[in-house]
Amino acid sequence: MLLNFKEDMSFGWFGRLQFKVNFKVLVIFLITFGFSLSASLAGNQPETSSLNLMPYPAKVELAPGQFRLSEKFYIGGEAQPGHRVFKAASRFMSRLSGRTGLFFEQDYLAGQTVTDQTRLFYHFDQPGRLIPGEDESYQLKINSEKIELRARTDLGLLHGFETLLQLLSADGGGYFFPCLQIEDSPRFSWRGLLIDSSRHFMPVEVIKRNLLAMSAVKLNVLHWHLSDDQGFRVESLVFPRLTQLGSDGQYFRQSEIKDIIQLASDLGIRVVPEFDLPGHSTSWLVGYPEYGSAAGPYQIERKFGVSSPVFNPTIEKTYKFLDSFLKEMTALFPDPYFHIGGDEVDPKQWKENPDIQRFMKKNNIPDEASLQAYFNRRLLKILTKYHKRMVGWDEIYQPGLPKDIVIQSWRGQQALVEAAKNGYQGLLSNGYYIDLVESAERHYLNDPVPVDSALTPEEKNLILGGEATMWAELATPETIDSRIWPRTAAIAERLWSPQGIRDVDDMYKRLRIISLGLEENGVQHLKNQPMMLRRLTRSYEIGCLEVLAKISEPVKGYSRHSQGKAYNSLSPLTRFVDACYPESFEARDFRLTVEKLVTSRDLRQAEELKNRLQLWQENHQKIIDLAETAPALKEIISLSESLKNVSLTGLEAINLIVSGQPADSAWLQTKFELLEEARKPVAECQLAIISGVELLLNSLKK
């Protein structure tokens, strides 16, 4: 089966797909393997495939047959021990062995020379450079006798190994790879994940396991946020008080930074550091108050939000200090790009400092935004001296800056469009703020360059890609993985795959399977929930708590900060809400089943829904009993009670649907009011099944 993806504008703004099917090959494949394609639920858009690949490749050609795995599976190529590809091939074999339990005969750690026994051949033409725009394409061919993986650069091979692992299948006869051909390359060259290690410190093990997970879904940039008001996180040998006084003792030694950069390089991932300037700078000024715009002393900020401390941009010693610091850091971080932050500068201290105001008047600087632009130009000159290209948030965009800077947009696509129209390269992060615990669907349908974009082809080329942003106000090393994964895999597909691949239902189907595979890289997005619930209850018997947690979600956006708790960097993030996943897949399944019931009146769906609702209704008493010995659960009793009431409403509605009886209008009104009450957050959580029950009620309206 040949899937050729190309945009068909006649299908509307979301770019439906056309695909050509080699029918003869498809029939053979269906007969041989029972492979089937189900009709898409998104209008005329075809489902991408039943292959559980993410990101989905640009071109896939399926063929009859299978490559069967055995312990005599040998890998071979031209890479030598120590080379990036050799390491990748070794990891591939180790992971393949772990997934299958096969004891491979080859000592793949000692050598991968091609022999008559070789069944997986890999080849690349040249080493890949870790820069935007480098060739990351690859070609994968599998027949019943051998597997060939080829790429222009070794970066492409890394991606090909990940695709091959995702293709691993099994049946009663053992493990196999389906026969096929894949030609694949990314849509965008900058596919990033921002990890904030400042608001809450994220130690080495957190960064490493997330680098491995990034590689699994073909992300290629770690944007590392390393300074903010709550902490300065990188050892400086030139200015040691930055971490001595500004980090609470939690920071990365330079040796650890180098180790992380090496791992990232082995995975084909660039590391772009961010040191926020001139605002968000409290932690800088704790040790070096003489560079601030107000008299010290300064203390590490425990609260979140926009703080007043800001560098003084009008004194020369500020630039001498930053020159020395940047000289050290640009030598430590080899990436050609360097992020200066530049966002959310509070001008209060600039306005209140008479010396700064006199400087502005003397130099015809009309306002504080222009003063920040002056600071940015001075900073750009320093970075250019050290051969770095400057990246910053929307606020750094000012007329007159050189066109080789990169604007990262948190404000929205319009800001990105404006920058591109003026010749500036850009990155999209608005819509990819994963710390806001929005749905994977919302992120997935958010595109750096929408189909209906008014940009010219030349302007579109200035959009380098995008980044998922994991800000850490409400995340700790224990919870950060569940806030990143698996939703970031959906963002990774948006940044890699052809634009027309946007079937949401198919994405969710594949996302669940990819989520399980990500655990292999050490990320703890699935395993930590039961651990956290056990700690809350001091018990192994947490079944009822898991039932409630799996259909509850944290409140969305920034609303947790307005729910009554005054969060700061020392607050516990160990409550029930922190154990809940950002998105409930169980609630989504429930709603989809409801949709089937109200359209088909199929009794099978009715019974399935009733079983779920009965379980949720009966769960409440168990929560009450558990809370008697676990005071931390007292705050969720009313949430559990709401679940009981909502579940009873759902059961009553299904009985009416199945019986065909009309619903009394007064009864309906009462139940809709009950749902509205149940929508109110409890302990910063919300029930995710309410929309499904509401759909049941709506179907009963006359």
- 550-598 per-position pLDDT tens digit: 999 999 999 999 887 899 999 999 999 999 999 999 999 999 999 999 9
Of the pLDDT bands very low, low, confident and very high (cuts 50, 70, 90), residue 33 is very low
Residue 371 has pLDDT above 60, yes or no: yes
Cα four-point dihedral sign 496, 500, 501, 502: positive
For residue 341, what pLDDT is reported?
96
pLDDT digits (tens, 9 = 90+) for 121-161: 999 999 999 999 999 999 999 999 999 999 999 999 999 99
* Interval 209-238: pLDDT, tens: 999 999 999 999 999 999 999 999 999 999
Given a cut of 90, is residue 425 above it in pLDDT? yes
pLDDT at 46: 33
With b meaning 16 or more CB within 10 Å and e meaning fewer, what string describes 109-136? Answer: eeebeeeeebbbbbbbeeebebebebbb
DSSP state of 663: P
Give the separation between CA 466 and CA 416, rounded to whole angstroms: 11
User: Does the bond joining 55 to the residue before it have cis omega, within 30 degrees of 0?
Assistant: yes
pLDDT value at position 197? 98
pLDDT tens per residue across span 463-515: 999 999 999 999 999 999 999 999 999 999 999 999 999 999 999 999 999 99
59-86 pLDDT, tens digit per residue, is: 999 999 999 999 999 999 999 999 999 9
Q: Please, are residues 382 and 399 in contact by the beta-carbon 8 Å criterion?
A: no
Pairing state between β 685-687 and 425-428? unpaired
* Rounded mean pLDDT, 632-639: 97
401 band by pLDDT with thresholds 50, 70 and 90:
confident
Residue 415, token pair as written in the block: 């800001």
| Cα distance between residue 626 and residue 633, in whole Å | 8
Q: For the whole prediction, is pTM greater than 0.85? A: yes
Q: Is 118 helix (H, G, I), strand (E, B) or coil?
A: strand
Q: How far apart are CA 330 and CA 271, in angstroms?
A: 12
Cα(97)–Cα(168) distance, integer angstroms: 11
Cβ atoms of 176 and 170 within 8 Å: the answer is yes
**Per-residue pLDDT tens over the stretch 234-278:** 999 999 999 999 999 999 999 999 999 999 999 999 999 999 999
Instruction: Assign residue 12 a region (left: φ > 0; alpha: ψ between -120 and 50; beta: otherwise).
Output: left
Which residues belong to the active site? 344
DSSP notation for 550-618: TTEEEPPTTGGGGSS---BTTS---SHHHHS-SS-HHHHHHHHHHHHHHHH--HHHHHHHHHHHHHHHH
Rounded to a whole number of angstroms, the CA Rg of the chain reads 27
pLDDT digits 0-9 by tens, 319-347? 999 999 999 999 999 999 999 999 999 99
Burial of 455 (0-12, 13-18, 19+ CB in 10 A): middle
Q: Bridge-partner residues for 121, per DSSP?
A: 76, 148
Other CB atoms within a 10 A radius of the CB of residue 589 amount to: 17
Q: What is the mean pLDDT of residues 641-645?
A: 98
Rounded Cα distance, 83 and 682, in Å: 53
Tally Cβ neighbours within 10 Å of residue 694. 22
Q: What is the mean pLDDT of residues 396-405?
A: 86
Domains along the chain with CATH numbers: 2-184 (3.30.379.10), 220-402 (3.20.20.80), 528-698 (no CATH)
Angle between helices 637-659 and 603-627 (to 10 degrees): 160
Q: With 0-12 CB in 10 A as exposed, 13-18 as middle and 19+ as buried, what is 664?
A: exposed
Q: pLDDT at residue 637 above 70?
A: yes
pLDDT of residue 562: 87
* 3-state SS, residue 502: coil
Phi and psi (nearest 5°) for 86? -60, -45
Q: Which long-range contacts (CB under 8 A, 24 or more apart) does 408-414 make?
A: 408/339, 408/467, 410/343, 410/469, 413/448, 413/450
Q: Is the pLDDT of residue 43 over 60?
A: no
Structure tokens given for 395: 């606020």
Angle subtended by helix axes 690-698 and 665-678, to nearest 10: 170
* pLDDT for res 49: 60
Q: What is the mean pLDDT of the chain?
A: 92
- pLDDT beyond 70 at 120: yes
Residue in 409, 402, 452 with CA at minimum distance from that of residue 430: 409
